[in-house]
Amino acid sequence: MAAKPELGELSSQGLPARTLRPGREPVLRQGQGRFIAALALCLAGSALVAPPLATGQTRDVNFAVVGKHAGFEQRGERAPQLQYYSFFSEIFLAEGTPLGNATLIRPDGREVVFNDQRGAIGPARDQILLVRGERRYASEAELDAEWPNGEYVFRYRAPGADEPISISVRLGAGDYPAGPAVWLEQRGAEAAPDSVDSTQDLVVKYSPFSSGHADPREICDDMIFVILRDQDDYKVDHSGRPFQGQRFMLYSDTERMIPASALAPASRYTLSVEQATLEDTVRAYGVPAMSTRAVTTALEINTLPPRPQTMN
C-alpha cells in the first residue's frame, strides 16, 4: 500500500530536535531576576488598571502561519513524485487559552472562519485553529485560482480585549522545490522501508534543504518537520514546533532520529519530511506570524514482525 500523501505540517505535538539560534529569546543574566521581581511588585497595581494588549496576545497565541504546499510520494528508493497541491492556515494556541474564534481575510476580501481543532475527534485533534483548502488541487494554477497570492490577515479578539487585532502577512508567487528524497538507517547501515526493525532507533535522512536560509528579520529561519504517523493517522513522533519552548529542526539539519520506543513490531507507518520556506515573517502584538511555501515527501514504512522466542 502506498503512503498516504500528507498536508503541510506546521501542526502537531512536538518532540526534541533543534532550538532557535541563540539570541532569539530573552535570557536573564545574573542579578536580573531580583531586579525584575522588585519591578513587578512596583507595577502590580498599574497592571491591574491597564495591562498591555500585547501581553494578552502573547498568552493566547504562540504563532500563526498561512501557506501553500506541494505533496510528494516516495515508493521505496524511487524518486518522489508530485501528487497534489494544497492550502492551509493555522493559529497555534497557548495551553489553557479560551480563545476560540478567529477569521482569515483573503486578498480578495473574503473572510474564512477558522475551525477549532481542540474539539475534533481522533487524530485531527490539536491545540490549533485551522483553515484548510476545501480539496487538494491537481496543479499550481488551480490552487492559485482558488487561493490567490497577496496579503492574508489573521483577525481575532483576545479574551478580555475591547477590540480585535489584525496581523497581516504576504504570500507571494514562488517556486516549489522538488520533494526531498528520503532514506533510512539503523545501526549505521541502510534500512529498507519495508523491513524496519522496531527494536532499533530509526535515523531518517533526506536530501539537503539547499534553498533554505536564515530569516533576515531574525524571527524564524526556514524549517524542517519530520513526522511519523501510525496506520490510524495518529502522530507517534514529531520533530517539534517553533515558539513553544521546545526544540525543533531548522533548514541546516540533515537527519532526525526516531527512537525505537516510538515503533511497534508488524506495523505500518507513514513517514513525512517537510521542508518549509518562509516567505514573509512579522511580529505584531507580541505574536510571530509567517507565510510559507512548503514541500513534503511521504514514505510508507513497515516494521518486521517480532522475533520468535527460543528456549535454551
pLDDT digits (tens, 9 = 90+) for 234-265: 999 999 999 988 899 999 999 999 999 999 99
Which residues of the chain are under the pLDDT cut of 70?
1-58, 310-312
Q: What is the pLDDT of residue 17?
A: 36
Residue 50 Cα to chain centre, angstroms: 34
> Would you state the cell numbers that stand for residue 69, as one nine-digit string?
504546499
pLDDT of residue 41: 43
Closest CA to 118 of 93, 144, 83: 93
- pLDDT on residue 13: 35
pLDDT tens digits for 52-79? Answer: 333 334 589 999 999 999 999 999 878 9
Q: Is 103 exposed, middle or buried (0-12, 13-18, 19+ CB in 10 A)?
A: middle
CB atoms within 10 A of CB 190: 11
C-alpha cell at 12: 502537531
Does residue 240 contact residue 246 with C-beta atoms inside 8 Å?
A: yes
CA 283 to chain centre: 18
Could you tell me which of 305, 199, 182 has the C-alpha nearest to residue 259? Answer: 199
Cα 216 to chain centroid, rounded: 20
- Per-residue pLDDT at 195: 96
Structure confidence at residue 173 (pLDDT): 84
The strand pairing partners of 256, in sequence order, are 204
Output the pLDDT for position 48.
Answer: 37
Q: What angle do CA 298, 211, 259 make, to 5 degrees?
A: 40
